[in-house]
Structure 1
Amino acid sequence: MAAHLLLALLLGIPLLLFFAATRRPAAPRGSADTRRLPPGPWALPVIGHLHHLAGALPHRALRALARRHGPLVMLRLGELPVVVASSRDAAREVMRTHDAAFASRPLSPMQELAYRGARGVIFAPHGEGWRRLRGICALELLSARRVQSFRPVREDEAGRLLRAVAAAAAAGSTVNLSERLAAYVADSTVRAIIGSRFERRDAYLRMLQEGLKIVPGMTLPDLFPSSRLARLVSRAPAQIERHRRGMQQFIDDIIAEHRESRASSAGKDGDDDEDLLDVLLRLQKDVDSQYPLTTDNIKTVMLDMFGAGSESSATALQWAMAELMRNPMVMRKAQDEVRRALAGHGNKVTEDKLANLHYLPLVIKETLRLHPPAPLLLPRRCGSPCQVLGFDVPEGAMVIVNAWAIGRDPAHWDAPDEFVPDRFEGDARDFRGTDFEFIPFGGGRRMCPGIAFGLAHIELALAALLFHFDWELPGGMAAGELDVRESFGVTAQLRSDLVVVPVPRVPLCP
């Protein structure tokens, strides 16, 4: 969003001035505005505060603004009023005190184009329809029992991951761990959703990455929604429409193949082997529901789960391994615990053997504190005027919670920018939405419902990789030389792939 968007805007200043001239005029005010709005930096005509986001990734730029102007900052990005919360107390008021007021998502013109009215769980407006979909996810799709039922799938895909790494080690070559981890999580997620692996996984991952980079919400038509010219000159509508059609075709094919497969194997008893698409199709037959589950709803829920279920877990796994590579003493401590706990258990890492691990969960918690997969979470919309930290938040404003900045706030964390899993030793703070200085998955009504699903992938793969292999950086690279810059997108991934050298230590089971 920052540098590239600003460059495009500045190069098009004459065009932007025309946008300003063609915007709908503001309604006349009958009296002076007596609201106490949050503070903010100086603004430019037309583009507002966009120039303050130049030169840094959004979550870093917004933290810098918060340090200068306070934990609640008001910005104008083009035509969009945006309020940014960057402290524990501000996050608590948004996600708990006034959770109902901020329970809906803002939907930009390009997001409307992408969803075409079927908003799934992530972007559905707060209301009974959303509550039904959320309940389906929490009770049917992502319940503890359902997540546990997919344990054989995760273990099988973890085995594939380990065999691929072992083959590279035997050949004396490096491993692109970023690619391998993304494939592991994607294959496991897809198998949980549709019951089988799929041949077009690589094409799916490319489409997923393409969609994350388009980032509806920060395009010219989104920033200047009242300007028809902004939409005409932007490439975003065509890109989003092309991506939407590709993903819809992908989902249509999956559903058709799944129905054919189930029709040919009719008569199975019980629902223990149901995949998530089975559950959705079964619930669709609930004709008595006030809010029926349409085929478009099913498609969008599947896309939500494909994206959120695979992308966030893969990102967290990559950061965990990157931080362990940068901190060899932490790596050794985690490996010693895993190998000690699993010694004599047949050299196979299974989920039932992870319950006694103590230090590895601290590594995961510290990874999520330093590197929340979605550093700005997902935005909320102020549905009714309210106050946060004593400031008035205007109705209709987009509200962003900077989870990345909050997780590195020196007011609540010692050495906040350092990777120190031991900080959680004896520290009961957790990431499940009640400790607002640690909110990688958000909080309140809009908290991520798939925490257990994602953590299951992270814990198993991380334990298995540490149990079977030691790890080195290629070419004699020192730990401090590893490139850990972030890329821009909905998720903050490593900018460069994590390429490492595996050294076998514990043989794989045949």
Structure 2
Amino acid sequence: MALYLIGSLSNPWFLLLPPLVFFFISFLLGFSSCGSHRRSLPPGPPPLPIIGNLHELSHVIHVSFHRLSKEYGPLIYLKLGSTSVVIASSMEVASQILKTNDAIFSSRPPLTAITRFTYDGIDIGASPFGEYWKKMKRFGTVHFFNAAKVQSFRRIREEEVNVLINGIKKASLNGEPINVSERAVCLLQNIIFREVFSRRLSADGECKLSPYSDLIKDMMSMMTSFNVRDFFPSFWWLDFLTGWRIKLEKKFEQMNQIYEKEIQARLDMFFGGTDTSSVTIEWGMTELMKNSEVMKKAQEEVRRVVGHKGKVDEETDIKHLHYLKMVIMETLRLHPPTPLLAPRECLKDTKINGYDVPAKTIAVINVWSMGRDSKYWDDPHRFQPERFENKSINFWGNHFNFIPFGSGRRICPGITFAMANIELAFANILYSFDWKLPNGLTEKDIDTSEHVGLVTRKKDPLILMATPKSSYK
């Protein structure tokens, strides 16, 4: 975000802006913010004229927020252009925002790309708080997200996981490396598309990313990229000069053509469910390859429970895979699909942690930072599923040191749906194959660099070699 701004400032159009305009706007911004000095705002780095604190941020924005929280505390205040933002990085502050003051922080800010791609915010995730959002949430619960409905999709999950396993087996017998990242996306695309639209995206037995994949990737990237309008509303026209708005409209038209015959209200489920579930499988397998003892323990459990049945049965086996469930929870702790929960908008002046938070301020919860805080977790950077053993911690938003899916009114409504997909796929992958790194690589060679978008996946795909297991002890 900040890097985008710095690059944009080298554009000749910016150099043509008269210095008088710069200083005039600086004066106006300074004058209009005089009243804010009477407030007791949360601590934070001093802002620069015009850009505020944008220069403090790197491309990996959740890491930047984490660094600032170490210096300024669990609640920090930033000016991103002319937009006020507070960042919460502790369970205590997160609880005040998502529980104590949930009603005040129940809406979404009207960010340009998200609003455009969701047709002015008509889906569950992006719509502002109100009667329409309540109706959409009820619609999602009734038709997709309740336990009975998730259970009714079991046959689809099992069939698609079988397609995944057979595809990996065929490739492995030919000595081909397995792109785990890509196959996880293919799996989730086909599961969700069948559940939502009653048809597959790719041919039976094949793992080919659909035409939707690149579009979704581009859209997710644009939703988190820098654009002038969100932070400098008066300079909205600069988005056209930089080409950002033109690109946005082009992607919107592509999406519109693809979905013009589909039910718009179901789009949110497809976008959110595909990426959040597939990246959890990707990061989970990455961590297992980096931690061979954990991999061994997880595979031994799955193979002991399933025995010689040939595949994992969702109804009878999953409930007994306690260690696998801890592996998934540990994956979500270290690699939450959305390191920063979807932003909330403060609806009226309020106080958080003893500080004033003005109306219209955007509130961001850094769950990535909370998952790495030694205040809540022993040896927080170590992948250790056993930390969840005999603990009552879950991801339903009640334990604020572990909220990968959020909490309160805007908690992710599809948790049950997502976990059913993740658990069945993960269990069968571990049951059916032994895994190793290609070309003599070792655990230390695994790159865990992040590619940041609306969800955070590995920068480079996870490529592994699979060996089918024909019998199990």
- C-alpha displacement of 1:10: 6.0
CA distance in 1, matches of 2:143, 2:7: 46
- C-alpha displacement of 1:109: 3.5
CA distance in 1, matches of 2:273, 2:52: 35
2:63 paired with 1:60: yes
Structure 1 segment 137-148 matched on structure 2, within 5 A: 137-148=140-151
Instruction: Provide the aligned C-alpha RMSD in A.
Output: 2.2
CA contact (8 A) 1:121 1:134 kept: yes
2:337 paired with 1:373: yes
TM-score when normalising by structure 2: 0.93
CA contact (8 A) 1:113 1:237 kept: no
* Gapped regions of structure 1 (runs ≥ 5): 256-297
Query: Which AA in structure 2 matches 1:332?
Result: K
Query: Which AA in structure 1 matches 2:328?
Result: I
CA contact (8 A) 1:23 1:227 kept: no
The residue that corresponds to 1:232 in the other structure is 240
CA contact (8 A) 2:201 2:210 kept: no
Query: Which AA in structure 2 matches 1:218?
Result: F
CA distance in 1, matches of 2:310, 2:189: 25
The residue that corresponds to 2:124 in the other structure is 121
Q: Structure 2 vs 1, CA of residues 75 and 246 (structure 1 numbering), >3 Å: closer, same or farther?
A: same
- C-alpha displacement of 1:244: 1.5
The residue that corresponds to 1:82 in the other structure is 85
Name the % identity: 36
CA contact (8 A) 1:349 1:464 kept: yes
- C-alpha displacement of 1:408: 1.1
Per-residue deviation, residues 326-369 of structure 1 (Å, max 9, x unmatched): 0000000000000000003x212221121111100000000000
CA distance in 1, matches of 2:75, 2:32: 28
The residue that corresponds to 2:416 in the other structure is 452
2:260 paired with 1:252: yes
Q: Could you say what secondary structure the match of 1:81 adopts?
A: strand
CA contact (8 A) 2:172 2:465 kept: yes
The residue that corresponds to 1:272 in the other structure is none
Structure 1 segment 402-413 matched on structure 2, within 5 A: 402-413=366-377
- C-alpha displacement of 1:33: 4.2
The residue that corresponds to 1:268 in the other structure is none
CA distance in 2, matches of 1:15, 1:77: 23
2:304 paired with 1:304: no
Per-residue deviation, residues 415-467 of structure 1 (Å, max 9, x unmatched): 11111001111121111100000010000000000001111111011100100
CA distance in 2, matches of 1:149, 1:37: 50
Per-residue deviation, residues 62-97 of structure 1 (Å, max 9, x unmatched): 000000000001001111111101111110000000
2:313 paired with 1:350: yes
CA contact (8 A) 1:38 1:392 kept: yes
Out of 334, 340, 357, the residue aligned to residue 393 of structure 1 is 357
The residue that corresponds to 1:71 in the other structure is 74
CA distance in 1, matches of 2:376, 2:16: 45
CA contact (8 A) 1:22 1:227 kept: no
Q: Could you say what secondary structure the match of 1:215 adopts?
A: helix
- C-alpha displacement of 1:234: 2.9
CA distance in 1, matches of 2:35, 2:253: 48
Q: Structure 2 vs 1, CA of residues 24 and 112 (structure 1 numbering), >3 Å: closer, same or farther?
A: farther
* Gapped regions of structure 2 (runs ≥ 5): 203-207
CA contact (8 A) 1:91 1:436 kept: yes
CA distance in 2, matches of 1:155, 1:169: 21
CA contact (8 A) 2:25 2:50 kept: no
Per-residue deviation, residues 177-226 of structure 1 (Å, max 9, x unmatched): 11111100111010000111135951111111010111257312222112
The residue that corresponds to 2:465 in the other structure is 501
2:191 paired with 1:188: yes
TM-score when normalising by structure 1: 0.86
The residue that corresponds to 1:51 in the other structure is 55
2:315 paired with 1:315: no
Query: Which AA in structure 2 matches 1:235?
Result: G
The residue that corresponds to 1:207 in the other structure is 215
Q: Which moved more, 1:499-508 or 1:404-413?
A: 499-508
CA distance in 1, matches of 2:376, 2:85: 25
CA distance in 1, matches of 2:36, 2:199: 62
CA distance in 1, matches of 2:47, 2:38: 20
The residue that corresponds to 1:480 in the other structure is 444
